[in-house]
Amino acid sequence: METEWTTKIVETAEKNQGPFFDYLRLQSVSTQKRMIPETANYVKQLIESFGGEAKLLEDLGGHPIVYGFFKAGQNGNAEKTLLFYNHYDVQPEDPLNEWKTEPFEPTIKDDILYCRGVSDNKANFMSRLNAIQILSESEDGLPCNIKFLVEGEEEIGSPTIDLYLEKYADLFAADACIWEAGSKDNEERFTIDAGIKGIAYFDAWVDSAEVDIHSSKGAVVNNAAWRLTHALSSLRNADHQVTIDGFYELMTPPTELEQSFVEKIPFNGEKLKENYGLKQPLITEKTTWSPQAALILYPTMTISGMLSGYTGPGSKTVLPRRAQAKIDVRLVPGMDPEDVYDVIRRHWDAQGFSDIELKLITGEKAFRTDLTDPFVQTVLESARKVYGEDIVLNPNSPGTGPMHGFGEYLSVPILGSGTGWAKSGAHAPNENVRLQDFYQGIEHMIILLKDFGEKE
Ligand SMILES: [Zn+2]
């Protein structure tokens, strides 16, 4: 679809392809600490070369965070500031043999750009810089102030970002925030997330003896595998309802407006079954809430792994002395990971499972933008101008990210917009972005910034 911006966008994107590809070539794999300082410096220089101010923040440890600033143009609204959040780190590129191109060599084939990190999250960052350049060169200049926070630890769970957000809350102060990413779904509908779920991740284990024991003693001796199984099964019933006292009470109940957006989210259960070769019915066939509500508005209770006893070939008749499990709980707003620990602990103690050990190993709170905030309408309206009427807004995504600190320390509404599509393959081999989506992403940022600058 041609618009008034199309020619300028393609022209600008092509002109900036060199620096974009150099950025993609930097192998900024955070979990392996590869090329992190180089990439942080490159991002800083990139912001400067587009006319912004930039600096590195690294006084609180962790990988450097890049701060960037672009001042509103002469006819712009200097009273308003939009913050862009992006990350420069990427996931490891393996399995190498599944790549059809060199993982870190940007390659365009059939109007699709392949490279590790292109969809998650380097193209989004570049689409924003391209939009800034186009607006800066336009008659009115930049419509508002723009800040960037580009971090290098997103792919390892952003362990230090909250420290920086707390200390540098004034530096990053803004009226609203556009999150790192967004994409089109299976049916090409543009999707916007206005929040994220949180997570509480636990180790659970029990010891039933000091040694493994001959299983003939199973007549009188209980074992760790049974013990843990019983404790775990007390957490969720056969209808998939969590049966921990006080668990659902931790949730902030969703508003009617949030529910109305959730009802409009498309969901194709058959497709899901087919994609994963599911051999069990969907658990929402038994819950009183819909799959959409389950994904967005309700917490999960998942056993992510179990280990006990002998599982090799043939038989070994043994009473295992130890059993271990990993428990993963996706949280909705209102649920503090520590409180989730407390309700599980209390539940197990009350049910006679005081011997089961429980340890919270990671926790992150959820965040949901207030959907009555005018910024929500600004983002939706600007997106409709680019992507058409059929847009999906998730009050929060079913996944987790470091959004809560932005809400807490900066008090901003946060929505995502990005250049991905259903087959972008983030974290997977042959990660890619379609050039057409990249151009649309630039256009969305142009229109959004203009609309945002104009609003009171
Ligand atoms: Zn990622």
User: CA-to-CA distance for 361 and 403, rounded, in angstroms?
Assistant: 19
Distance of CA 153 from the midpoint of ligand 1 (Å): 10
pTM, 2 dp: 0.92
What mean pLDDT do residues 282-293 have? 94
Residue 190 near residue 184 (C-beta atoms within 8 A)? yes
End-to-end Cα, the chain, rounded Å: 31
Q: Same domain for 111 and 244?
A: no
Q: Same domain for 356 and 379?
A: no
Q: Same domain for 117 and 172?
A: yes
Task: Report whether pLDDT(285) > 80.
Answer: yes
Given this model, what pLDDT does residue 3 score? 84
Distance of CA 251 from the midpoint of ligand 1 (Å): 27
Q: Same domain for 115 and 31?
A: yes
User: CA-to-CA distance for 272 and 274, rounded, in angstroms?
Assistant: 5
The total number of residues shown for the chain amounts to 456
Please report whether residue 435 resides in a domain.
Answer: yes
Q: Same domain for 169 and 33?
A: yes
Distance of CA 158 from the midpoint of ligand 1 (Å): 11
Distance of CA 180 from the midpoint of ligand 1 (Å): 10
Q: Same domain for 210 and 86?
A: no
Domain boundary among the residues 364, 392, 409 is at: 364
Distance of CA 289 from the midpoint of ligand 1 (Å): 29
Please report whether residue 381 resides in a domain.
Answer: yes
Distance of CA 173 from the midpoint of ligand 1 (Å): 25
Distance of CA 16 from the midpoint of ligand 1 (Å): 24
Distance of CA 411 from the midpoint of ligand 1 (Å): 24
Distance of CA 372 from the midpoint of ligand 1 (Å): 29
Residue 267 near residue 186 (C-beta atoms within 8 A)? no
Distance of CA 108 from the midpoint of ligand 1 (Å): 21
Please report whether residue 307 resides in a domain.
Answer: yes
Distance of CA 407 from the midpoint of ligand 1 (Å): 20
Domain boundary among the residues 322, 345, 364 is at: 364
Given this model, what pLDDT does residue 2 score? 77
Please report whether residue 263 resides in a domain.
Answer: no
By mean pLDDT, which of 33-37, 121-125, 272-276, 334-338 is the weakest? 272-276
- Which tens digit of pLDDT belongs to each residue from 245-268? 999 999 999 999 999 999 989 999
Q: Which amino acid, residue 422?
A: A
Q: Same domain for 415 and 443?
A: yes
Question: In 76-166, which ranges are E strands?
Answer: 77-87, 107-109, 112-114, 144-151
Distance of CA 426 from the midpoint of ligand 1 (Å): 6
Given this model, what pLDDT does residue 129 score? 98
Distance of CA 224 from the midpoint of ligand 1 (Å): 37
Residues 147-164, buried b or exposed e (16+ Cβ, 10 A)?
Answer: bbbbbbbbbbbbebbbeb
Residue 245 corresponds to which tokens in the numbers above? 């006292």
Q: Same domain for 220 and 182?
A: no
Distance of CA 24 from the midpoint of ligand 1 (Å): 15
Distance of CA 47 from the midpoint of ligand 1 (Å): 22
Please report whether residue 110 resides in a domain.
Answer: yes
User: CA-to-CA distance for 276 and 333, rounded, in angstroms?
Assistant: 29
User: CA-to-CA distance for 378 and 453, rounded, in angstroms?
Assistant: 10
Distance of CA 432 from the midpoint of ligand 1 (Å): 13
Distance of CA 79 from the midpoint of ligand 1 (Å): 33
- Which tens digit of pLDDT belongs to each residue from 77-117? 999 999 999 999 999 999 999 999 999 999 999 999 999 99
- Which tens digit of pLDDT belongs to each residue from 291-346? 999 999 999 999 999 999 999 999 999 999 999 999 999 999 999 999 999 999 99
User: How many domains are there within the chain?
Assistant: 2
Query: Whose CA is closest to 443, among 357, 383, 368, 381?
Result: 383
Q: Same domain for 216 and 356?
A: yes
Whole-number percent of the chain with pLDDT over 90: 95
Please report whether residue 430 resides in a domain.
Answer: yes
Instruction: Tell me the residue range of the domain where 225 lies.
Output: 199-251+299-364
User: CA-to-CA distance for 54 and 72, rounded, in angstroms?
Assistant: 16
Distance of CA 401 from the midpoint of ligand 1 (Å): 9
Query: Whose CA is closest to 424, among 122, 192, 135?
Result: 122
Distance of CA 122 from the midpoint of ligand 1 (Å): 11
Domain boundary among the residues 345, 364, 383 is at: 364
Distance of CA 414 from the midpoint of ligand 1 (Å): 18
Q: Same domain for 449 and 336?
A: no
Q: Same domain for 92 and 134?
A: yes
Residue 1: pLDDT band (50, 70, 90) is low
Domain with 81 in it: what CATH number?
3.40.630.10
Distance of CA 156 from the midpoint of ligand 1 (Å): 9
Q: Is 138 buried (19+), middle (13-18) or exposed (0-12) by CB count in 10 A?
A: middle
Domain with 357 in it: what CATH number?
3.30.70.360
Task: Report whether pLDDT(455) > 80.
Answer: no
Please report whether residue 349 resides in a domain.
Answer: yes
Distance of CA 53 from the midpoint of ligand 1 (Å): 27
Q: Same domain for 21 and 156?
A: yes
Please report whether residue 180 resides in a domain.
Answer: yes
